[in-house]
Amino acid sequence: MPFIHKDGKDTIIFASKEDHATPSKIELPEPEPSPGLLLSSGEINWNCPCLGGMATGPCGLEFREAFSCFHYSAAEPKGSDCYDAFKTMQTCMVQYPALYGKKEGSLEDLEDEDPMEEHGKNLEVDSKGSHLESKVKELPRTSSVETGIEQSNAK
């Protein structure tokens, strides 16, 4: 039994693990909608904090172009028609080395990131998710990044 004590207007309950073993009878309302990177409409949420300052910084426009291109790309493989957009973005970014960096050594960093999970989640709202997934599987595994992916997948 939980131990209940009254301290003036304040009630204190001490509950043991057993006291809370049965599921709660309370039903909660739906959580607030939280769209993540992709809105339920499938559009990109540029205000997603997960983008950091990418969409709002000095190369924000270029970034948006490139990312949109990729997101809506119907090419095979996806994004292969976005070379120009990425190139433009890159051209902008090299002008801000302090902001976007210029060394290429951080593939290692990528490895340890866990980009997977949330994005996977985001893609659930994207009807094309499984479609994309099947395509991804066809991609060759070549580099350390792939290793990173592998690693994450295994988890």
Partner 1 sequence: MIEPATHTCSILHKAKLGPSKMLSGRIIGRLPKLTRHSHVNHFFRPLKYIGIFSVHNLRYNSNENNKVYKSPGTTIKPEECIPEICGKPDDSQKSNDKKPLPPYWKILATLFIAGVTIYAISISNWFTAKKSDLQKDVSKREKDGRRIRRSFQKSKSPSTSNSFPSEIPYLLIGGGTAAFSAFRSIKSRDPRAKVLVITEEEDLPYMRPPLSKELWYNRDRKISAQLLFKQWNGAQRSIFYEPPEFYSDISNLSQSDKGGVAVATGWKVIKIDIPNKTIMLDDGYEIKYEKCLIATGASPKNLPVFESIQDELKNKIITFRTKEDFLDLEDIVHNVKYKNIVIIGGGFLGSELASSLAHNLPKNKKIYQIYKEKFIMDQVLPKYLSEWATKKSMLEGVNCIANSEVEDYSYKGGQLSLVLSDNRVIDADQVIVAVGVEPNTDLAKASHLETDPKIGGFLVNAELEARSNLWVAGDAACFYDIKLGRRRVEHHDHAVVSGRLAGENMTGARKPYLHQSMFWSDLGPEIGYEAIGIVDSSLPTVGVFVKTTNSDTSITSVSSLNETTQPSNEEKLNTQSSLQLNLKKEKTSECSDNSKVLLEEPKKYGDFGKGVVFYLRDDIVVGIVLWNIFNRMSIARQVLARDTKYDDLNEVAKLFTIHDD
Min dist CB 62 to partner 1, Å, is 9
Q: What is the spatial distance between Cα 102 and Cα 110, in angstroms, rounded to a whole number?
A: 15
42 or 130, CB closer to partner 1? 130
Report the residue from 41, 43, 48, 76 that binds partner 1 according to the rule CB under 8 A. Answer: 48
Report the residue from 40, 66, 74, 127 that binds partner 1 according to the rule CB under 8 A. Answer: 66
Min dist CB 142 to partner 1, Å, is 6
Closest by alpha carbon to 60, among 46, 74, 44?
A: 46
The answer to whether residue 76 forms part of the interface with partner 1 (CB under 8 A) is no
Using the structure block, give the residue that is written with the tokens 């792939």: 146
The encoded tokens of residue 98 equal: 């302090």
Q: Which of residues 103-122 bind partner 1 (CB under 8 A)?
A: 103-121
Q: What is the spatial distance between Cα 63 and Cα 55, in angstroms, rounded to a whole number?
A: 6
